[in-house]
Structure 1
Amino acid sequence: MALLDIRNLVVEFDTAAGPFRAVDGVSLQVDPREVLAIVGESGSGKSVSMLAVMGLLPWTAKVSAERMVFDGRDMMAMSAGERRRIIGKEIAMIFQEPIASLNPCFTVGFQIEEVLRFHLGLDKKSRRDRAVELLTQVGIPDPAARLNAFPHQMSGGQCQRVMIAMALACNPKLLIADEPTTALDVTIQKQILDLLMQLQAEHGMALIMITHNMGVVAETADRVIVQYKGRKMEEADVLSLFENPQSNYTRALLSALPENATGDRLPTIAGLMEDFTPAPSAGEGARP
């Protein structure tokens, strides 16, 4: 049985020009221990889809779905309090701007310990010991001293490691990583990706990797969902997607990779939304 099963997710925002549909009928499933990549250009609805699952969209957003079930529980039928008991404990998310995601007014130790206090009810010493253990696990040097540091006293890569530590604090069943390497230089990007994959294997959790980087997809994922303008264009295992893409948008996306450049010009995707059609099975909830 799928750990997370979403059918026909729709997210709309009210704007001055009328309702704007940011996510338009997306369906997905992820199994325990599986790595699912959601790929697409900026504005394709990748992050909004997962923020809807987390319940972190503003109150002005209208979220609907035929089905949103996590570990056998209907998330659409949950109260706000019931969902809060799951979010951060059984489903955790790493955001793409680590420095902006951490509270600048509190030490990193306080922010990690707050997760442990709220979800696990640990006492002060147990929280401290667990926080040191988590920072050690994600490769922060001198972790006991670093608990007293504020986010601005740490590098971007260290802040991202702190975010990963917070996400792993309660041993979640599902980890959502929203472009976790975007704000980092290339060397640190590789370290963070390697760390995520190592921790995913060690903890046996499912991982949803949101990215626009096809190289990250090829390196990390078991299956891939391609999104464009709020719609799912294609879903396939990694090898099938790269070797035999079914959607004309996926083919255009792969052809626009820098390694396919000829001469001095990078490949681009021509055309409008209407020019791209989903693969035949993309709108279905079942897997390819």
Structure 2
Amino acid sequence: MPLLEIKNLRVAFDTSVGEFIAVQGIDLSVDEREVLAIVGESGSGKSVSMLAVMGLLPDTATVTADSMTFNGRDLLTMTVEQRRKIIGRDIAMIFQEPIASLNPCFTVGFQIEEVLRVHMGMDRAQRRARAIELLQQVGIPEPEQRLSTFPHQMSGGQCQRVMIAIAIACNPKLLIADEPTTALDVTIQKQILDLLMRLQAEHGMGLIMITHNMGVVAETADRVVVQYKGRKMEEADVLSLFESPKSNYTKALLSALPDNATGDRLPTVSDFILDAPDGAPA
């Protein structure tokens, strides 16, 4: 049984000019200890799909699916209270912008300890000890002193490490990483990716990596789902995807990589005739 399984996911938003369909007909699954990459350009519905799983979309969104199960439990029929017990404990998410995701009014220590208080019921001493341990795991120097630091006093890379510490605090079964290296320099990107892969292996988590970077896909994923304009274009193991992509859109993404350039300029997605599924915008 997959750890997470979604069938025929649809997400639509009510707008002033009518309904906007952001995600249509998405099927995906991830197993324990598996790394699934969801790849596509901005606006392809990658983040929206996972925010639907987390229950973090606004009230203007309508989420439907034939099924959406986590560890055998139906997420669609859960009450808000039942889902809150899972989100942050069994399913955790690392968001795109760590500095924006951390609360600037509270210290790093408070924000890590709050997760442990809500989901693990630890007392103050236990929470402090666990917070120090987590900061050590994610490579923050002088973790005991860092507990009293505010997010604005840390670099982007350090804030991302704090977000990872919060996400793994309760040893989740599934970790969703939404563009975890966005806005970080190349050296820090590599460190963050290495950290995520090490933690995933050590804790045996399922990991969903949302990205537009095919290099990240090649380096981290076991299996890949390619999305375009809210639709799934292709799904394959990572080696098959790179060696023999089936979708024209996937071929466009791979051809736009600098290493694959054959002319004076890089090709763009618009250079390809895309094979959008029926009902998807061209």
TM-score by length of 2: 0.96
- Is the Cα–Cα contact under 8 Å of residues 95 and 101 in structure 1 kept in the other structure? yes
Partner of 2:259: 259
Aligned counterparts of 2:34 and 2:146: Cα–Cα separation in 1: 32
Q: Which runs of 5 or more structure 2 residues have no equivalent in the other structure?
A: none
Post-superposition offset of 1:9: 0.4
- Is the Cα–Cα contact under 8 Å of residues 132 and 143 in structure 1 kept in the other structure? yes
Partner of 2:275: 276
Aligned counterparts of 1:56 and 1:77: Cα–Cα separation in 2: 16
Partner of 1:282: none
Post-superposition offset of 1:278: 4.9
Partner of 1:18: 18
Partner of 2:227: 227
1:121 aligns with 2:125: no
- Counterpart of 2:103, as a letter, is N
Post-superposition offset of 1:269: 1.5
Post-superposition offset of 1:271: 6.1
- Is the Cα–Cα contact under 8 Å of residues 132 and 144 in structure 1 kept in the other structure? yes
Aligned counterparts of 2:73 and 2:247: Cα–Cα separation in 1: 33
The worse-fitting range, judged by mean Cα deviation, of 260-269 and 37-46 is 260-269
Q: Deviations over 1:190-246 (max 9, x none)?
A: 000000000000000000000000000000000000000000000000000001111
- Counterpart of 1:64, as a letter, is T
Aligned counterparts of 1:226 and 1:81: Cα–Cα separation in 2: 33
Aligned counterparts of 2:192 and 2:100: Cα–Cα separation in 1: 18
Partner of 1:35: 35
Partner of 1:197: 197
Partner of 1:66: 66
Partner of 2:133: 133
Runs of 4+ in 1 over 3 A off after TM superposition: none
Post-superposition offset of 1:276: 2.0
Aligned counterparts of 1:235 and 1:278: Cα–Cα separation in 2: 14
% identical aligned pairs: 77
Post-superposition offset of 1:259: 1.9
RMSD: 1.4
Post-superposition offset of 1:120: 0.5
Partner of 2:145: 145
- Is the Cα–Cα contact under 8 Å of residues 175 and 207 in structure 1 kept in the other structure? yes
Matches within 5 A, 1:146-185: 146-185=146-185
Q: Deviations over 1:110-132 (max 9, x none)?
A: 00000000001100000000000
- Is the Cα–Cα contact under 8 Å of residues 260 and 267 in structure 1 kept in the other structure? no
Aligned counterparts of 1:54 and 1:79: Cα–Cα separation in 2: 13
Aligned counterparts of 1:264 and 1:118: Cα–Cα separation in 2: 56
Post-superposition offset of 1:263: 4.7
The worse-fitting range, judged by mean Cα deviation, of 51-60 and 16-25 is 16-25
Aligned counterparts of 2:16 and 2:58: Cα–Cα separation in 1: 16
Aligned counterparts of 2:47 and 2:135: Cα–Cα separation in 1: 26
Aligned counterparts of 1:171 and 1:54: Cα–Cα separation in 2: 17
Partner of 2:90: 90
Q: Paired residues, what number? A: 278
- Counterpart of 1:177, as a letter, is A
